[in-house]
Amino acid sequence: MTPSKRFDRIAFVASNSADAQAALEQLTQIYGNVDPTEADVIVALGGDGLMLKTLHDHMRTGKPIYGMHRGTVGFLMNEFSTIDLHARLAAAKDTLINPLLMRATDVDGNVHIHHAINEVSLFRQTHQAARLRILIDERERMAELVADGILVATPAGSTAYNLSAQGPILPINAPLLALTPISAFRPRRWRGALLPNTAFVVFEVLEGDKRPVAAVADHDEARNVRRVEIISDKTISMRMMFDPGHSLEERILSEQFGY
C-alpha cells in the first residue's frame, strides 16, 4: 500500500495557540483537511494537553494519531514540519496505549465512570489529609494510608504527574502500572509499588465525611468519593505514531537518564 493511498485523508486538529493555528492553516493548504470520521489518520498540532484531548475524543475509533509540537510541553509530540508529511506518516512507528478505567462511587451512591490515559488520582479536598485503604485484586495491601492522595499511572503517564510525585518511570511496553502516594504521612517511608497491568486496584476512603476525597481520571473529576475502582481497559487500544528514532519508548528511556 503506498503512503499517499494509506494516508491520503488527513484530519488536522489544533490547539488555540497562535503557533498551532498558524500550523493548521499551513498544513491545510498543502494537504487538505477532512472530517476526523472520514480520515485515515488524525494529526494533532499543539502540546501534550491537546494530544491527551485528541486521544480521549477518538479513543474508540482505532484511528492512528500523530502529534506535531506546536505547544508548551511536547513529550508526546513529534517535531513540527510541513515537508513530506505523507512520507513521515508512512514511516512512523505505532505505540499502542490502553487507558485506565475508573469507577468511582460517591457519598450519595452515584457512580462516575471515566477513562484515563495518564493516571487516576485521588486528592484530599480540605486541609486534612486523606485516609485510604488499598486493595489489590480484592486483597488488602494497606489498611491505612494517610497522605495528600495517591495515583495509579500508566507507562504513558509515568513521566507526567507520577514523575512529579517521585514515582517511577515505566518503559512504554512494560506490562506495569505505577502506584504512587502523594505526600505520604503514614507510612512515612512508603514510596509506592509497581503493579501488573492486570491488577484490579481499589481505594476505600476512610472518614470520608471528615476527610473528603476527590478522584480524577486525567481531567474528569468526581468529588466526595467513597470507593474508587481502577483497571486497565484492554478493550481499547489507541495508536500513537512517532517518527523513527523518536518513539515514546525511546523518550521514556532517555528520561530515565536525565536527558
pLDDT at residue 188, as a whole number: 86
**Catalytic position from the list 8, 19, 40, 48:** 48
Instruction: Give the global pTM.
Output: 0.86
Q: State the pLDDT at residue 74.
A: 77
48 is in an annotated binding site: yes
129 is in an annotated binding site: no
CA-wise closest residue to 252 among 152, 178, 151: 178
Sign for the pseudo-dihedral over CA of 191, 212, 164, 203: positive
- Below-70 pLDDT ranges, the chain: 1-5, 247-248, 256, 258-259
What is the third-level CATH fold of 100-232? Tumour Suppressor Smad4 (2.60.200)
Task: Specify the CATH number of the domain 3-97+236-256.
Answer: 3.40.50.10330
Q: Distance from CA of residue 208 to its chain's centroid?
A: 27
HSE-up (13 A, CA, CB side) for residue 23: 25
Q: Has 84 been annotated as catalytic?
A: no
The amino acid sitting at 139 is R
The reply, when asked if residue 49 is annotated as ligand binding, is yes
Based on C-alpha coordinates, what's the Rg of the chain?
A: 20
Residue carrying the nine cell digits 502506584: 179
**Distance between CA 139 and CA 202 in Å, rounded?**
9
Establish whether 163 is an annotated binding residue. yes
Q: Are 238 and 117 spatial neighbours (Cβ–Cβ below 8 Å)?
A: yes
Domain boundaries, the chain: 3-97+236-256, 100-232
